[in-house]
Amino acid sequence: MTATSFPPRARHTKIIATLGPASSSPAAIRQLHDAGADVFRLNFSHGTHGEHQERLHAIRALEQEAGRPIAVLLDLQGPKLRIGAFADERVVLERGHRIRLDLDPAPGNAERVSLPHPEIFAALQPGHQLLIDDGRARFAVVSCGDDFAVIEAQSNCVLSNRKGVNVPDAVLPLSPLTEKDRRDLAFGLALGVDWIALSFVQRAEDVQELMAIVGTRAGIVAKLEKPSAIEDLERIVDSADAIMVARGDLGVEMPPELVPGLQKKIVATCRRHGKPVIVATQMLESMVSAPTPTRAEASDVATAVYDGVDAVMLSAESASGAYPVEAVSIMGRIIGSAEIDGKASTRMADYWPTRKDEPADAICAAIHTMARVLPIAATITYTSSGATTLRVAHQRPQTPILSLTPNLAVARRLALIWGVHSVCTEDARSVEEMVGQAEEVALREGFRQAGKPLVVVAGTPFGVSGSTNLLRVIWPEREAAKAGEDMACRPRDPYFNTIADCH
């Protein structure tokens, strides 16, 4: 990857932009990146393999040009449960009307219609809710069997051909990976995507099923959009590499008044586990057709920032909306404004990750204290697997995080993480080389500030994953000379001062 003169982002929270018809050309992708997009989402619910391949190639070309690792998120479609077709295309039902669902593929009417999903019948029980057309039509199950269900309309509604079905009260005996998903997954992994988002997660075993296929080739994002996932939240967060709060589908299957509280619960759980978390869906929905968001939408984005999420996501706003670049740009401005709010760091500190009795966690926690004593310009992390950088980022330090790794795949994956400016560089082989390289990259990437030291976190022996045990403060040589003999602990090497070295 070429050296870059591209300035670091002046914010910590990352922006994920979905690509689609409004944003698929190389020029459009470049505009989104320049406006502030850190991660690009390829939504495999839409588009062909050829279209997604062209988008990814454009992203990689942009990455070479900008010299900055860019993450690509492949979002799998997941199972789509739908009713069949009607003889007259639609039926109008009044509240209290009962209609039968069955496996018969014949065109339906006001008395019956096909539901070609025996796994739904296997899970239904009388009294369960059944939602059709994104919850616009709500029904209660009156009676059911292995191949049928009689449901009663809870309000006046219209049913039309092949509308989607949600079953919020049951865990369906269904894998989250359809045959289409498996083909899409193989295609995406061959292309080299960095993250895989798994839809229709009901339990931790769903995440583990995907992880067994993917291995270490990509990170796994579990999308939380079903009530059963909330019931198994702790295990799902523990199993996944990252979590997405998919509020659209979650708001269909659960009462809307519960979604804000659930969002905070999920974010707090992820923060406690030290797992990256994304808030998604309808964040700037009005910008699909308007050049500016509503004030409520701006507040929604800011609330996620205050809670310390790693990223916020644009869907239709950037994929098919009339103002994709403007949506990314104003989302960046909202994030920046929220992050400089004095209350942001206080609210963020409400969620602390669980710490283990290990040098790595002690070192990362110490960075907060050091930032109150020293005017630190940036925290520099050396990492092979990404673990060191993740540990530092999960503490939400108020300094930028400059992550150095010899692994391009790791550098790309870290582009999703809060506060991380990721750089792919050669691994250091000694402390002296580490110090020189850290100063050089910090200067090149725009993180050096006159009179301000750099904190370096690394592991020795170098190149070994999971060995974070070294914390250094680097002062530029000219600053060390100015400090003179009255320095509390003058180093023998004029480039750095040892603060901690835990073995």
Query: What element of type H or E holds 448?
Result: none
Catalytic residue check, 48: no
Neighbour count for residue 418 (Cβ, 10 Å): 22
Catalytic residue check, 275: no
Mapping DSSP to helix (H, G, I), strand (E, B) and coil, where does residue 48 land? Answer: coil
Residues facing residue 153 across a β-bridge:
139
User: Among 270, 260, 280, which residue's Cα sits nearest to residue 75?
Assistant: 280
Residue linked to tokens 């919850």? 135
CB burial class (10 A; 0-12, 13-18, 19+) of residue 192? middle
Q: Considering Cα of 356, then 395, then 466, then 210, what sign does the dihedral take?
A: positive
Given a contact cutoff of 8 angstroms between Cβ atoms, the answer to whether 454 and 473 are in contact is: yes
Neighbour count for residue 392 (Cβ, 10 Å): 28
Query: What element of type H or E holds 212?
Result: helix 204-214
Catalytic residue check, 444: no
Catalytic residue check, 281: yes
For residues 325 and 314, what is the distance between their CA atoms, to the nearest angstrom? 11
Residue linked to tokens 């968001």? 293
For residues 327 and 20, what is the distance between their CA atoms, to the nearest angstrom? 14
Catalytic residue (choose from 223, 226, 391, 472): 223
Catalytic residue (choose from 41, 138, 247, 413): 41
DSSP structure class, residue 130: E
Catalytic residue (choose from 30, 80, 82, 217): 82
Output phi, psi for 341, to 5 deg: -65, 130
- How long is the chain? 503
Catalytic residue (choose from 13, 281, 425, 468): 281
- Alpha carbon 34 to chain centroid distance? 20
Catalytic residues: 41, 82, 223, 281
